[in-house]
Amino acid sequence: MAQPIDLAATAKGILSGDRRALARAITLVESARADHRAQALTLLGTLAASGRQALRIGLSGTPGVGKSTFIEAFGLMLTAQGLKVAVLAVDPSSARSGGSILGDKTRMERLSRDPNAFIRPSPSQTQLGGVARRSREAVALCEAAGFDVVLIETVGVGQSETVVAQISDLFLLLLAPAGGDELQGVKRGIMEMADLIFVNKADGDLKPAAMRTVADYSGALQLLRRRPQDPAGFPKALPVSALAEEGLEQAWAEMQTLAEWRKTHSHWTRTRATQSRHWFEEEVRQGLLAALRHEPQRGLMAGYADRVATGEITPEAAAAEMLRAMGRG
Amino acid sequence: MAQPIDLAATAKGILSGDRRALARAITLVESARADHRAQALTLLGTLAASGRQALRIGLSGTPGVGKSTFIEAFGLMLTAQGLKVAVLAVDPSSARSGGSILGDKTRMERLSRDPNAFIRPSPSQTQLGGVARRSREAVALCEAAGFDVVLIETVGVGQSETVVAQISDLFLLLLAPAGGDELQGVKRGIMEMADLIFVNKADGDLKPAAMRTVADYSGALQLLRRRPQDPAGFPKALPVSALAEEGLEQAWAEMQTLAEWRKTHSHWTRTRATQSRHWFEEEVRQGLLAALRHEPQRGLMAGYADRVATGEITPEAAAAEMLRAMGRG
């Protein structure tokens, strides 16, 4: 990003489906530099006029459930139907681990070579507030580029599921076959977010265990309160085998059924509107707090923190002085 | 709180151990009114000079584990030794439930009549940022009033444990006897915060189950990384019976051992300093965000949110405009 970006050319490139222009734009929205930020806002504003919408599918699953294999098999099935598929990663942990997911395109080698697919590795530098914004903006760029489906992948740890669910139209949970007593291993909050639960590896020796796990989760899902945004029978649990490429057609059919029902019953528009409100408010909150990371506030904060630590001033009094110094007393 | 409070008299009253003055001061710090806030800051600043410190003990446990019975029996044991004990509640849920803990002093009838004990019910009106500040300030007031031990109770739900752990010198987890497969029901994060785990109801029929639960948690605690602030053998799990008043002396001895070790090895001061820094920063953050709840920002936010919801403006662009309007662009 050493060179200035030609915004008009980039916007035109994205709208015509140029993947290099898309990649460049995603790099731009990932940048924390103030001038890049201003450019990113201009670009996003321009592209919003296209009105293009993709089906945004959030996908969560802990390491080992076969997420990459599922995405590759599912993605290839969609591109074979002529659909354009983008895959993005939301991974707040990558700052520590050096990129635990999608750090390497070879993980989905066939899909990454598919001309109708676009895979974006998880950026290496992350901040909690930044992850959500960057991911949301990358989704918007993929929509403007004409992708039909945007898959947003996350590892099943921490708060990243909540972020992904707030970006997605559908939220999928991918699980491995397990004993019934492990059912509570999935946090209730995650269960409540899931529109569809897929139990992967329903093949070979693991098939009986997978079917039991499906039954266990089906039972658990029935105990959850029926949600207004769901038709009868949803949320539901289904077996899939990414390896044997089985159950993927049905998985996709269920997603389409749910998406269509929500569109018909206006839940679709309402959910997107609610998500937009949420992200607007969150952006404002993050923007206000960002002031603390810059000088002179940063230095003032450090100075007060030292005095608070020694007991020279109470936390409350120091905070009141700090807020006054910022004109917010 | 209709009448203006006499700050000098209140401060003097608190320092001399007058419980009515203490109760009045806690009501003051619980108030959200700007003039009360200013008075509260003055009062806390004055009292901080006393330099009095109590042993702050955080206690978490889900409903049904016998928390009230434990606090009453443990508190009475301490007051019988001549110690002054204050009991405070941190309960973010009370806004919804109408006060699920400590709403009624009759819950700990004997302790509430003890002249060396002070029990403060959970306030009914709550806000996430407010809970922490109010609790922290109430602890500071109890310390100034000369209490030796301040017990800070919370129900084991949501983020209240984190708040309580950040206020406390020691953090206790109270559990009921359970089958070994229920061990994972306690979140790992909570386990990692606990200095001591007490398995209550280790009496009568439940004693064997309680001992097994102690063994299970002892094993689980050994798998956690040794923390620099702990002597060998800590954190540990122990059986207690609040009902039969058994194991309480040992429980208290373990707390004292841990507290003394930390004081000798300077972890005590360091932890309190870290906590103070944390709360100072949190206060500043909450103060900055508070601006959004007042006019004209509140109205501006609502207006932008509506435009964002209809897609007239992107969340990012609306946030940027909002921040500019607040002088933070």
The domains of chain B, with CATH numbers, are 1-49 (1.20.5.170), 52-264 (3.40.50.300)
Q: What pLDDT band is residue A89 in, cutting at 50, 70 and 90?
A: confident
Cα distance between residue A270 and residue A272, in whole Å: 5
Find the CB nearest B280 among A184, A284, A315.
A315
Average pLDDT over residues B298-323: 93
User: Length of chain A, please?
Assistant: 329
Is the pLDDT confidence value at B319 over 80?
Answer: yes
Ranges A172-186, A226-240, B96-110: which has the least confidence: B96-110
Does the beta-carbon distance from B314 to A140 stay under 8 Å? yes
Q: Which positions in chain B touch A317 (Cβ < 8 Å)?
A: 41, 44-45
Smallest CA-to-CA distance from B27 within B5, B8, B59 is with B5
Average pLDDT over residues A74-93: 90
Q: What is the pLDDT of residues B116-168, one digit of tens each?
A: 999 987 665 555 456 778 889 999 999 999 999 999 998 766 678 888 999 99
Is the pLDDT confidence value at A232 over 70?
Answer: yes
Q: What is the pLDDT of residue A308?
A: 94
Q: Does A133 touch chain B (CB under 8 A)?
A: yes
Q: What is the pLDDT of residue B78?
A: 98
Neighbours of A10 (CB within 10 A): 22
Q: What pLDDT band is residue A150 in, cutting at 50, 70 and 90?
A: very high
Is the pLDDT confidence value at B229 over 80?
Answer: no
Is the pLDDT confidence value at B93 over 70?
Answer: no
Does residue A14 contact residue A21 with C-beta atoms inside 8 Å? yes
Q: What is the pLDDT of residue A230?
A: 85
Q: What pLDDT band is residue A183 in, cutting at 50, 70 and 90?
A: low
Best residue in B280, B281, B313, B322 for a mutation probing chain A (most A CBs within 10 Å): B280
Is the pLDDT confidence value at A273 over 50?
Answer: yes
Q: Which residues neighbour B121 within 8 Å (Cβ) at sequence distance 6 or greater?
A: B89, B99, B102, B103, B104, B105
ipTM of the complex model: 0.83
For B247, left (φ over 0), alpha (ψ -120 to 50), or beta? Answer: left
E runs forming strands in chain B: 55-61, 85-90, 117-119, 149-155, 170-175, 196-199, 236-239
Does the beta-carbon distance from B289 to A288 stay under 8 Å? yes
Residue whose structure tokens are 């005095």:
A307
Q: What is the pLDDT of residue A30?
A: 87
Average pLDDT over residues B187-216: 89
Give me chain A's average pLDDT, please. Answer: 87
Q: Does B8 touch chain A (CB under 8 A)?
A: no
The B residues from 288 to 327 touching A (CB cutoff 8 Å) are 288-289, 291-292, 301, 304-305, 308-311, 314-320, 322-323, 326-327
Q: What is the pLDDT of residues B236-271, one digit of tens each?
A: 999 999 999 999 999 999 999 999 999 999 899 999
User: Chain B: residue nearest A185 by CA?
Assistant: B184
Q: What pLDDT band is residue B106 in, cutting at 50, 70 and 90?
A: low
3-class secondary structure, A71: helix
Does the beta-carbon distance from B319 to A288 stay under 8 Å? no
Cα distance between residue A143 and residue A280, in whole Å: 19
Q: What pLDDT band is residue A163 in, cutting at 50, 70 and 90?
A: confident
Find the CB nearest B328 among A277, A291, A301.
A291
H/E segment holding residue A238:
strand A236-239
CA B293 to chain centre: 26
Backbone angles phi, psi at B93, to 5 degrees: -85, -10
| DSSP secondary structure letter of residue A241 | B
Does residue B33 contact residue B25 with C-beta atoms inside 8 Å? no
Find the CB nearest A281 among B45, B279, B305.
B305
Does residue A242 contact residue A199 with C-beta atoms inside 8 Å? no
Burial of B310 (0-12, 13-18, 19+ CB in 10 A): exposed
Is the pLDDT confidence value at A326 over 80?
Answer: yes
Does the beta-carbon distance from A276 to B309 stay under 8 Å? yes
Find the CB nearest B284 among A136, A137, A319.
A319
Is the pLDDT confidence value at A6 over 50?
Answer: yes
In whole angstroms, how large is the CA radius of gyration of chain A? 22
Q: Which positions in chain A touch B293 (Cβ < 8 Å)?
A: none
Average pLDDT over residues A233-238: 92
Q: Which residues neighbour B5 within 8 Å (Cβ) at sequence distance 6 or greater?
A: B24, B28, B39
Q: How far is A40 from chain B (nearest CA, A)?
A: 9
Q: What is the pLDDT of residue B189?
A: 75
Is the pLDDT confidence value at B99 over 50?
Answer: no
Ranges A176-190, A253-267, B22-36, B300-314: which has the least confidence: A176-190
Find the CB nearest B45 among A274, A317, A322.
A317
Is the pLDDT confidence value at B275 over 70?
Answer: yes
Average pLDDT over residues A30-54: 90
Is the pLDDT confidence value at A33 over 70?
Answer: yes
